[in-house]
Structure 1
Amino acid sequence: MEEPKKPTKRKDQIRHDEEVAQRLQDQMQAELEEEDRLVRQRKEEANIVLWDNVQAMIDVALDAIPLAIKSPSIIDWKIHKEGKKSYYQIIRIDGSSKMYLVFSHMLKSFDIKDLETLYKLVNAKYGSTRPVEDLDLVLYRDLKTMFEPHVEDNVWKNQSNYRVLDWKLYDSCGVHSLRKQNVHIHMLVEKRYPLTAPTITDMLNRKLQADHWNEMCYQLLKLLTKQLKNQ
């Protein structure tokens, strides 16, 4: 006598239940992932808003600070003499003025805009002539070497004749100064100059003098090291 076949209805029901359970699980997983994505999106949007607010505050601060502490624009300069000493007298638009014995003293309080303005003033006066006053001639040469270096200038052609004495950074105006025997060279940090490999090596061996280590120091050393490798 044959055993009756078991109905397949129960098996179908079990399979159906498993499929429903799997769909529910997939749906729940998708909902959790979507919720997590929305949370991350809200955080990112909140961070963007926060960063925008911070940037706005920084911009306001940067706009406000120069009005309070930045020196007024330079409008002229003169040679002022006291006894046997001569000084550069820098005159600003508000009528104030300050004396400097040498150009390097200006670099301690100037910013790049001061240097650019002073160069324009000096160049406008002596662009096609030669200064007669010794101090004006020194100022003219220092600024011209800084802003318009030319490989044929004597300061670059004769650099191998003198060893480096010291090398200093003035980060307020983005200038580094190289003092060699009988010559003082002032250079903008972000500008390349026709320095020879022996001079650069001597500079790096002497080490850079700075009031504090900052990004400008790093970028200057990086630029000179790269320039040395390319020679």
Structure 2
Amino acid sequence: MLRAEATSHIKKQAKPPYHPQLRNQMMKYIRNVGGKAYRNLKNKSYEEIRDIYEKVKRFNDKFVAIGSTEDEQAIKEMNVKAEEPSKKRKGTIRKMKSSRIIKKRKIQKSDDELKNFLKVVDFEGDSAQDVEVMEQHSLISRFSIVQSPEGEYIAVQRANGHIRAFNTLNEILHILDRQDLYHLHRLVIEYYEHIPPTGLGLILHGDLTTMMETTEESDDELWRNQTEWEIISWRFYESTGVHILELENGTMIHMLVEQRYPLTRELMQRMLEHKLEVQKETEDALNVIRFVMKQKEDLEREEE
């Protein structure tokens, strides 16, 4: 009798969750890891959510930063295999014609060469206090736009009760990490789900939406007329993995370092010539340069 009850209990525990529960779990993963907005997911079917979840998970599991140790090891292994005798033609040795090897050879540069595209500067607003707050890490629990006699500002509260006020998203990026960024994006999207964003909230909502939801195939008004863009700065925030393009007309385009956006080959060339502004030369900063150079060269091959 006890054995039967135990078996029944195990079966109950092993029973998979219902589709609604699975759907909610997958949506949570997509929003937190893939940066997708809830409003773009809530009306989709279980099958559609599952497809998006599998795509995001595959990308997250397989993503290897260009120039990272893992990427270098993979290239070495591929080249070693290329030197092995062909099984199809005995007595001959042939090079492995991998498109990845070709691409890697084209953009492979020494660190000294890549550093030519970096410019070390002091970021305004980056103080010892900011670093201290970031180290005392606690998840972001609340966001709001606050009115004051001096104007609007963004209030961000962490779970430990600490509150900071900011005027722009750039200021926030000084003390956030990538997980913070996903949490902030989710909170902002949920906050404006039933009310239209205005003022500073509209700017923050737009910047986060552009960064998180734009893809290489996006056809948005923002990305048109890039030949007319005048670059003021191109800046990298390492803790969040975000690089920002500031234009003369006041537009600021926030981009995740591993995500491709509909940038033209000509604009990326101008970005490289302008140089990426960093607080210090790091491998992550060099990887931003590698990524942009790779995207630019991919476009050049497509145009040939």
TM-score range, shorter chain: 0.5 to 0.7
Deviations for 1:157-212, whole angstroms, at most 9, x for unmatched residues?
24333211110110011111110122100111111111111210111000011011
Q: Is the 8 A contact 1:168 1:208 kept in 2?
A: yes
1:126 pairs with 2:192: yes
1:223 partner letter: F
Deviations for 1:81-131, whole angstroms, at most 9, x for unmatched residues?
332322101011122100111110011111111110011111223347631
Tell me what 2:54 maps to: none
- Bigger RCO (CA 8 Å, 6+ sep): 2
Distance 1:127-1:196 versus aligned 2 partners, 3 A rule: farther
The 2-side partners of 1:198 and 1:115 are apart by 30
State the number of aligned residues: 163
Decide which of 276, 284, 302 is 1:208's aligned counterpart. 276
Which residues of structure 1 form unaligned runs of 5+? 1-67
The 1-side partners of 2:171 and 2:135 are apart by 19
Tell me what 1:177 maps to: 244
The 2-side partners of 1:156 and 1:144 are apart by 14
Tell me what 2:140 maps to: 74
Tell me what 2:150 maps to: 84
Over the matched positions of the two proteins, sequence identity in percent amounts to 32
Q: Secondary structure at the match of 2:278?
A: coil
Tell me what 2:180 maps to: 114
Alignment of 1:1-231 (within 5 A): 69-127=135-193, 130-131=196-197, 133-150=198-215, 151-182=218-249, 183-231=251-299
1:209 partner letter: E
The 2-side partners of 1:160 and 1:116 are apart by 32
Which residues of structure 2 form unaligned runs of 5+? 1-133, 300-304
Give me the TM-score of the superposition, normalised by structure 2: 0.51
Deviations for 1:44-85, whole angstroms, at most 9, x for unmatched residues?
xxxxxxxxxxxxxxxxxxxxxxxx934211111112233232
The 2-side partners of 1:153 and 1:98 are apart by 33
Q: Is the 8 A contact 1:164 1:199 kept in 2?
A: no
Q: Is the 8 A contact 1:75 1:93 kept in 2?
A: yes
Distance 1:194-1:127 versus aligned 2 partners, 3 A rule: farther
Q: Is the 8 A contact 1:74 1:118 kept in 2?
A: yes
The 2-side partners of 1:186 and 1:175 are apart by 7
Distance 1:225-1:155 versus aligned 2 partners, 3 A rule: same
Tell me what 1:22 maps to: none
The 2-side partners of 1:181 and 1:91 are apart by 32
Q: Secondary structure at the match of 1:116?
A: helix
